[in-house]
Structure 1
Amino acid sequence: MMKKWLIVIVFSLVALFLAACSDDGDKASGGKSDGDTVNLDFWVFGSTGYQELVDEYMEENPNVKITINEGEMNDMHNNLFTSISAGSGAPDIAQIEVSQVEKFLQAKDQFHNLNDYGAEDVAENFLDWKWAQAQTVDGEFQIGLPTDIGPTTMFYRIDVIEAAGLPTDREELAAEIDTWEAYYEAAKKVKEETGKYMTDTPQLVYNAIRDQQDLQYFNEDDELIMEDTVKEAYDFTTKMIEEDLIGQNELWTPEWGTAMAEGTYATMPGAPGWMVANVKGNAPDASGNWDIASIPEGAGNWGGSFLTVPKESEYPQEAYDFISWLTAPEQQLRSFEIAGLFPSTPDVYENEEFLATTDEYFNGAPTAQIFAEAAKSVKTVYMGVNYAIVDTEISTALVNVAVDGADPQAEWDAAIERITSQLERQ
């Protein structure tokens, strides 16, 4: 009898051991046992409209439960960086904005390389320049799959443009203002004929020119490069400020919104697709007074993001399967329809229903077609891990020149000094 009990006990222990090994193996590989539910935390910022698509995915994949946590952009990025640094508290999936992606690439050991899960097989779905933004210089590590983009155009007030004697047809206006020098000449005409500004904030002009450049603040060795194209953009903008062709409002302030509603200026250069909602929100009664044309000298990109899988996730394969579905052309088209997120998948640009999208607020402009053409002309640009530091200081300098009448060169020199000091502490 004793021997029988010993045999039972031994077999029980072996069974328990094998089960434990099996569980550990599933966990390490990011897998799951049949019938178990995989819970994925998904951190996002802004108005993505993803909940509808998440619900659809969960209905098709009943073993997967995805919980969206929405937050303000800076807070979410700060919380994510704190979590991956501590090795605790990170989500399974995190949205990262394009200006922040280089910073997180520096901590790529805290993320899963999506190439290990099949990312290279879907790379051709996306615009080349967008795909390159989320990978290491050698292309070996892909930290995220692309979501939306922000190809830039020029919004304009039809009434102000007409009063200045400029063509109001979007194609004719784009042909007349096809260079920044032509933009400057048009600004003088707007001022002379209407007394209004060409645009209300210096940041828009500067950003538009900055985003068209092959190189911006850093080269691929992360060396600061400021004295060529960036300085030219700054000098052009401050010249327009000093000649009273640009207003004094700072982006995102109440005054900026009020000027938009009152039509105190003619154009918004460097405006991406997501700016449509800002204009409608700030100027609800100006429907039909706004239109959209191409920007002088070609489009840049302002905004957009990527979906990443932090290393802490126990289910990287399931997380990847979901984000590859969410960023596929079919779902990017849906995201555009639901929340206006402009697709980074050029296959969508061939869709007839997509191309037929117009906006009556913007005088019936074929918005999808305009932004799609802009997206195709964007250049691949290396932004650098400390992009935000530099951009913030240059923006401060421009505001000081516009609002306080500060000397442009003195403000430039002071900005470079602040930038250099901050970079030395990194």
Structure 2
Amino acid sequence: MPTARAARRTAVRLGAVALAGALLAACGSGSPGGASGGKDGDITLTVDLFGSFGYQEAGLYAAYEKLHPGVTIKQTDTEDEQDYWKSLQTRLAGGGGLADVQGVEVGRIAAVTQQQSEKFEDLTRYGADKLKDRFAAAKWSAATTKDGKVLGLGTDVGPEAMCYRTDLLRKAGLPTDRTELAKRWATWDGYLALGERYRAKAPAGSAWLDSVGSLFTVMVGQEKERYYDTSGALIYEDSPAVRTAWSAATRAASDGLSAKLDQWTPQWNQAFAAGSFATLPCPAWMLGYIKGQAGDAGKGKWDVARLPGGAGNWGGSYLSVPRAAKHKKEAYELIEWLTAPEQQAELFRKQGNFPSATGAIAAVAGATDPYFSGAPIGRIFGDAAKAAPVQVLGVHDKNVADQITNALNEVERKGTSPEEAWSHAKKGVANVTG
């Protein structure tokens, strides 16, 4: 999930018939009369999300409605997570306009548990405490307050790989085999060096990567400590992870390796079909986004290889129930079902969102994807998920990241010096962290 995953859905909604089997067998805590309004009449559950959670596209809402006659699920979503979060904060402050289910990006979950716990339902009231063993330990603990309240159920995680266009690499005279590329770019220096070779013979209008902001984000996702330390102190100025990623990103900008595209913009979306970049740092949830933007014409042109520099995580989300929700119990039953291993596994197969439920991770280990040239996505992302560090999350984690990537946009798009851009980043961080 986008946070960190913020991607707009464009795929066609799939019918529930294709999901029969495992989906119909996994009803969560709700029985066909539970959340259906069978006793109290028909109800509409509202779900407000950002980016590409994939439930509608994978047919999960349709399957749930079939299991619970009388329930209708109405989803709204915002393309950019920053816009979504600002709107959510306004509605939380006023207590109105909130959906029954609200998505929370992983970079915001510490703000929810540490500063806004009174705004969200403690899901243990509905039996969530019995689900602890279902999730990876880090995913569960991040949404749990110090006094044991559970404020969200984990959807996906964002293990990282590198997606690339085989046709563009071939035209530039570079290897296209995923195993060979993984060796060539085993380090980030190797990745940038290969980018220099690509630039020398690149097809017209094509760059090595989409933006230096995405390079920075994926690199800091490989480290345990980035912006905060385990005591909760803000350490980004002296963080080795931030310094290393900033250096690599500004180097890529100065070497002309970036297409200078601001992620999640219409221009970036159009670039997938236009072939404007050859490689894309790629958390698992990006697979569904690529399919949506590149369309049928992109099938077989993309592939997936192991990420340079080791494993990491970018994004992942939670589903929460606000205190002001109209249908709290029914909302909980829906999110318990959506985050169950069976549904998480199906979502990965259909959309690429990698599971946070341990049972689902094992179930998708052998998954391949014909769109991505038959890449063994279950193994690639599964290995990355196992090796990725458990990251320290701070209250303003996402805000700090946004300020730094905004500064990097200045470097690549305006020609601002790295030194001046860094000073702008520090001022921005000071403003958002108070």
Which of residues 60, 76, 79 is equivalent to 1:53? 60
- Matches of residues 204-215 of structure 1 in structure 2 within 5 Å? 204-215=214-225
Matched, 1:392 2:395: no
Q: How far apart, CA to CA, are the structure 1 residues paired with 2:267 and 2:36?
A: 53
Aligned to 2:209: 199
Q: Are the equivalent residues in 2 in contact too, given 1:329–1:345 (CA < 8 A)?
A: yes
Which of 346, 352, 370 is the equivalent residue of 1:360? 370
Contact 1:43–1:93 (CA under 8 A) maintained in structure 2: yes
Which has more radius of gyration?
Answer: 1
CA deviation vs aligned residue, 1:247-279 (integer Å, no higher than 9, x gap): 32222344434544344543212x123322333
Q: 1:321 — aligned with what?
A: 333
Seen in structure 2, the aligned counterparts of structure 1 residues 361 and 319 have a Cα distance that, compared at 3 Å, is closer
User: Is residue 123 of structure 1 aligned with residue 127 of structure 2?
Assistant: no
Aligned with 2:95 (options 72, 87, 93): 87
Superposed displacement of residue 323, structure 1: 2.0
The alignment partner of 2:209 has SS state of coil
Match of 1:182 among 186, 190, 198: 190
Identical amino acids, percent of aligned pairs: 34
User: Counterpart of 1:256 in 2: which secondary structure?
Assistant: helix
1:6 is matched with none
TM-score by length of 2: 0.79
Match of 2:119 in 1: 110
Distance 1:95 1:42, change over 3 A: farther
Deviates more, 1:50-59 or 1:322-331: 50-59
The letter of the residue matching 2:153 is L
Tell me which of 258, 263, 283 is aligned to 1:272.
283
Q: Distance in 1 between matches of 2:278 and 2:88?
A: 40
* Match among 377, 380, 387 for residue 370 of structure 1: 380
- Runs of at least 4 residues of structure 1 off by over 6 A? 30-34
User: Do the aligned partners of 1:40 and 1:92 also contact (CA within 8 Å) in 2?
Assistant: no
SS state at 1:103 partner: helix
1:339 positional shift: 4.5
What is the aligned-residue RMSD (CA, Å)? 3.1
81-90 vs 196-205, greater mean Cα deviation: 81-90
Q: In 1, Cα distance between the equivalents of 2:131 and 2:299?
A: 40
Aligned to 2:76: 70
2: CA distance between counterparts of 1:32 and 1:154?
Answer: 42
Distance 1:41 1:78, change over 3 A: farther
Code of the residue aligned with 1:406 in structure 2: it is T
Amino acid at match of 2:285: W
Measured in 2, the distance between the counterparts of 1:54 and 1:266 equals: 35
Moved more, 322-331 or 252-261: 252-261
Q: Secondary structure, in 3 states, of the residue corresponding to 1:147?
A: strand
1:180 deviates by 1.2
**Within 1, Cα distance between the matches of 2:37 and 2:254?**
68
Matches within 5 A, 1:286-301: 286-301=298-313
Aligned-partner Cα distance in 1 for 2:412–2:406: 10
Say yes or no: does 1:233 pair with 2:245. yes
Scaled by the length of structure 1, the TM-score of the pair is 0.80
Alignment check: 8 A CA contact 2:155 2:339 kept: yes
Distance 1:346 1:31, change over 3 A: closer
Contact 1:38/1:315 (<8 A) preserved: no
Aligned length in residues:
390
Q: Distance in 1 between matches of 2:144 and 2:230?
A: 12
1:242 aligned residue:
254
